[in-house]
A and B are shown apart, each in its own frame.
Chain A
Amino acid sequence: MKPQFSTRLSCLACAVFLVGGCATANNPKDPFEGFNRAMFAVNEGLDMAVVKPLAKGYDTVAPLPVKVVVGNFFGNLWDVWTALNNLLQGKPEQAASDVGRVLINSTVGIGGAFDVAGEIGLSKHSEEFGQTLAKWGVGDGPYFYWPLIGPRTTRDTFGWMVDTYFDPVWRVDDMALRNSLVAVRYIDVRASLLPSDKVVEEAAFDKYNYVRDAYLQHRRNEVFDGDPPRLRPEE
């Protein structure tokens, strides 16, 4: 049963690869567009068959307070890494604020379940190693679309590997617990993206293109901490 499924999947991938390979014009940002479109198709298939139904189920079953707690819990674990990255990027005030967040939320916030620090004005920052590399001057490199992980530039693919290596969730010794945590976090993140599905579905002419261009704009925004230099619109 299992090999059959994967054979089918790889056939699909090959077919899309061939079609994608011929049909697309060369985009300098996306030299591996054929490969990426194939992976995109794989991911869309996985999403439709497995991930999205799970996320929808979770979204229906879990009441909002539960989802808030789940999001806060994983967010609190990540804040340690956020602090370190802020430090590596030469932003000690932000790093100090992140450390404060972890201390407050882990104690008063009952193991990270409640974002008490956020309530009192220590706002959450969004940092990972890809952004740190960008601050250090590493360029985007070619764009990739990976199965399960989704879009990443070359730099951010490497950043993601470093993130995962230091990710406390991946470092949990008990394998069953670790896998459950990884799965819950994945589904929780996917569920939080459910409302934007329809928006993207209707707005995009070519979903692959739309996702790619949105991702690249979004990353630029993240690297500049939400305040990128404005591009003069009509180039």
Chain B
Amino acid sequence: MAASTKLTSAAGILLMKRFVPFLFGLFVMLSPVLAQPVSPDGLVRTVTDDVLTIVRQDKDIQGGNTRKAIELVDTKVLPYFNFQRMTALAVGRDWSKASPEQKKRLADEFKTLLVRTYSNALTSYKNQTVTYKPTKMQAGDTDVLVKTEIVQPGSKPVQLDYALEKQGDSWKVYDVIVAGVSLVTNYRDTFNQEVRNNGIDGLIQMLVNRNKQLETGKK
């Protein structure tokens, strides 16, 4: 009796020893497959709904508390944005002239600025609702435009589109387009001019100064 228990438990341990790595391996193999079903429009919808649910309940954000809106964007929205790509888009051709170190600084500063812009837009939330338009997408596409509309009583709906690109298994937003205006490429002429006049470092400095100024302007 005791011997047989010992035997089974030994077999059990042996089995477990082989089975656990097997299970683990299976899980690792399967996890990308499991993560796959998040489509770009599904992602936009989930994040938008998440953010709006919070904004609808948060009187501080509705009252114009930018800091709180920034916190919200930082935690809920940022993980789904590709700021390196966004910055490259805003800078245009000059991006290739920047060193890896400069690229990192540019992306960090541009991120701060864009997050503030986006957060400011959130604080002007009134009674808007968001509708989602059908996404044109074919199997194998790695670059997709997800179209939404901000509907508000008494005025025309405002178009709000997100450009997403597939990186490995996940989709990341690289452009936000409001009423046809890209919040990213709208900077290109200004940035090009600054690089022409003061180089990449001049552009970094311009962004740093602006962010500092906005930061101190806000108590």
0/1 interface trace, chain B 110-124, chain A, CB 8 Å (1 if under): 000100110011001
Question: CB-CB < 8 A to A68: which residues of B?
Answer: 153-154
**Stretch in A47-55, A102-110, A157-165, A220-228 with 4+ CB within 8 Å of B:** A220-228
A25 close to chain B: CB less than 8 A: yes
Structural contact, A72 and B156, CB atoms closer than 8 A: no
Within 8 A of B (CB), among A51-81: 64, 67-72, 75
Judged by a CB distance under 8 angstroms, whether B140 is at the interface is: no
| Complex: A70 Cα to B155 Cα, angstroms | 10
The segment from A8-16, A131-139, A147-155, A200-208 that touches chain B is A200-208
Contacting residues, chain A, for B30 (C-beta < 8 A): none
Residue A93 at the B interface, CB < 8 A? Answer: no
Q: Nearest chain-A residue to B118 (Cβ)?
A: A199
Segment at the B interface, from A34-42, A167-175, A178-186, A210-218? A210-218
How many interface contacts (CB-CB < 8 Å) are there between A and B? 86
B172-209 toward A: CB 8 Å interface, digit per residue (1/0)?
Answer: 00110001111101111110011010000000001000
How many of chain B's residues have a CB under 8 angstroms from any CB in A? 39
Q: Which residue of B lies closest to A204 (CB)?
A: B190
Instruction: Check if A221 sits within 8 Å of B181, measured CB to CB.
Output: yes
Q: State whether A234 and B89 are in contact (beta carbons under 8 Å apart), knowing that A202-B214, A205-B190 are contacts in the complex.
A: yes
Q: Does B52 contact A (CB under 8 A)?
A: no
Set of chain A residues within 8 Å of B88, measured between Cβ atoms = 234
A162 to B210, CA, bound (A): 41
Q: Which of B92, B194, B196, B206 contacts A235 (CB 8 A)?
A: B92
A215 to chain B, nearest CB (A): 8
- Report the nearest A residue to B161, measured CB to CB: A226
Of residues 149 to 163 in B, which have CB atoms within 8 Å of A's CB atoms?
153-157, 159
Q: Which residues of B contact A (CB under 8 A)?
A: 88-89, 92-93, 95, 113, 116-117, 120-121, 124, 126-127, 145, 153-157, 159, 174-175, 179-183, 185-190, 193-194, 196, 206, 210, 214
Task: List 9 A-B pairs, Cβ < 8 Å.
Answer: A68-B153, A69-B154, A196-B124, A205-B187, A213-B189, A217-B181, A217-B186, A218-B179, A219-B180
14 additional contacts (CB under 8 A) given A203-B117, A205-B210, A210-B186: A25-B193, A64-B127, A67-B154, A71-B154, A72-B154, A195-B121, A203-B120, A209-B189, A217-B180, A218-B181, A221-B181, A230-B145, A234-B88, A234-B95
